[in-house]
Amino acid sequence: MKKCIAFLLVSSLLMAVSGLMPAALAASPMTLKVSYAESLNDPKHTAMVAFKEYVEEQSNGSLAIELYPSNELGSNADVGELISKGANIILSNAADGLADYGEPNLTAIGIFYTFQSPEEVARFVESDLYEEMRSNLAQEGITILTMNWVTTPRQIMSTRPLASYSDLERVLIRIPASTYATFFAAVGASPVSMTFGEVYTSLSSGMIEAVEAPLATLYTYSLHEVAKYIQISNHALAPALLCLSTDIFNSLSDEQQQILMDASQMAGDLYTKSVADTTADYRKLLEENGVQFIEWSEEDLQKMALAAQEVYAAYPEMDPDIYDRIMDAIGKGD
């Protein structure tokens, strides 16, 4: 009798547990890790915190966001590869960093002097050309949420003064992507690839002599402690994007997909405004820490712009008319 009662109790417990398990599993949130190069002190991190809060609140906890600044999950290239294979990671990256995944025309987004303002970027992401690129990338396993994360123009910071364009000759400069390597090689410099987290020690040791980035990033990584010169080159206004695995994105409900896209749009707008509003503040902070700003002549800047046009020829896999198509998309075509 006791064995029978015990059997019934165990059976009832198993039935109860099995009945509860699907509900418990359904209540478990989908966790998405967010990877980006910028440090905890950078405006990008502040925007990412807003992204996390929005997603978790609007999804009622069905989506959980974990933030990984300073390339904690690996370089952008390594994380991009993981995403293409289905990893549950959202990556902040320059568009041209994804050009190898079925859409070589993304390379043009990162070529210097393509975009001159956030407004031009906004017009581009409303265009059919952008949707074409986004669709091609998605077919290769990576889905773009938004591409509205626009920083201020990138400048060149160095351990010695570069008085003019010609002084770039043979300078060892850290670069983040292949288009940057092609450009700086075209102007005579010697590009070196590494994560941004390695830049401080590399400048300090003399492994590199220069780095290029927005003023906010240069300051928040404390590079003013090891490099005291910034050349105002305004060479790049390449927009960043947020992307994730197409398989992961498609596994989400329509509501969750929209929440992620809305959050990325909101946080990207917040970031773009923040860096625009604080550029003068970061210049002042850098100057207060002993950094000398060097203004290049218009002739020097024109030479930089002409060198940028050479980059297109280095990527024959792009459509030959891609520059003209981008100019048409932003309203600057002939």
Phi, psi values for residue 121, rounded to 5°? -65, -45
Residue 303 to residue 165: CA distance in whole angstroms: 7
| pLDDT reading at 9 higher than 60 | no
| pLDDT reading at 151 higher than 90 | no
| pLDDT reading at 309 higher than 90 | no
Q: Please name every residue paired with 299 in a beta bridge, in sequence order, or none if there are none.
A: none
Question: Measuring CA to CA, how many Å separate 42 from each of 26, 39, 61, 198?
Answer: 36, 5, 27, 16
Q: Worst-scoring range by mean pLDDT, 7-21, 104-118, 174-188, 196-210?
A: 7-21
Q: Model's pTM, two decimal places?
A: 0.78
| pLDDT reading at 247 higher than 80 | yes
Q: Give all domains of the chain, ordered by start, each with its CATH number.
A: 29-150+238-278 (3.40.190.170), 155-237+289-316 (3.40.190.170)
Span 129-147, mean pLDDT?
97
Q: What is the pLDDT of residue 166?
A: 95
pLDDT band, very low/low/confident/very high, at 27 (cuts 50, 70, 90): low
**Token pair in block for residue 139:** 């077919």
| pLDDT reading at 314 higher than 60 | yes
For 76-126, the pLDDT digits (tens) are: 999 999 999 999 999 999 999 999 999 999 999 989 889 989 999 999 999
Residue 98 to residue 154: CA distance in whole angstroms: 20
**Token pair in block for residue 155:** 């400048």
Q: What is the pLDDT of residue 12?
A: 43
| pLDDT reading at 316 higher than 50 | yes
Give the type of residue at 219: Y
Instruction: Tell me the percentage of the chain whose pLDDT exceeds 90.
Output: 77
